[in-house]
Amino acid sequence: MIAGMGDITLLLTRMGQGEESAANELMRLVYSELHSVASAKMSHENAALTLQPTALVHEAWLRLGGDEQPNWQNRRHFFYAAAEAMRRILIERARRRAAVRHGGGQVRVDEALLDAKELSPDDDRVLMVSEALDRLALVDARKAELVKLRYFAGMTLEEVAAAMGISVPTAKRWWVFAKAWLYREVKN
């Protein structure tokens, strides 16, 4: 579960008011959660070739603005941006590695592709999901946002529902729809 949701909102408000120490406090508060998400995403990669979870969290933090954080609207905005930053880092890394290895090649796709418990930052898988996710965003931006929060930020459906301001049953329906839609897109 995401640490201190109320505390995060308070820190984001303080940052918006220009309080310099709030960014450091925010990083301390969300660091372990972001590190856990990054660790889970990185756990299936070859240790010699992988970006370390700590490096992923730090690079995402820097891309978010580091100590000069922008004026976040709310915790949803912050975690969405964090998920998007991690997604972009993993995609850029995957593209660099795919360009080097035998032309990228074709990858076998299975149903575990979109199972949140089975997701890993395998380069080809990240690229396939990301490209399909971009297409889903054109069809339904809110469902694409849900997928980003689940897949790249590692949030539970309950956390996503709270962050997006929707009910848990709605989050579950959207997740089922998005998984099926993305699976069909990746399979074709």
CA-nearest of 120, 167, 126 to 146 is 167
Whether 154 contacts 147, CB under 8 Å: no
Predicted pLDDT of residue 110: 47
- Does residue 161 or residue 126 have the better pLDDT? 161
Q: What is the mean pLDDT of the chain?
A: 76
Give the CA radius of gyration of the chain. 17
Whether 161 contacts 170, CB under 8 Å: yes
Whether 124 contacts 109, CB under 8 Å: no
Q: How far is Cα 138 from Cα 141, in angstroms, rounded to an integer?
A: 6
- Does residue 151 or residue 45 have the better pLDDT? 151
Q: Is 187 helix (H, G, I), strand (E, B) or coil?
A: helix
Any idea which of 96-110, 116-130, 143-157 has the lowest mean pLDDT? Answer: 96-110
Predicted pLDDT of residue 46: 52
Whether 87 contacts 130, CB under 8 Å: yes
Whether 18 contacts 4, CB under 8 Å: no
The model's pTM: 0.55
Q: What CA–CA distances, in Å, run from 80 to 49, 146, 153, 158?
A: 27, 9, 8, 15
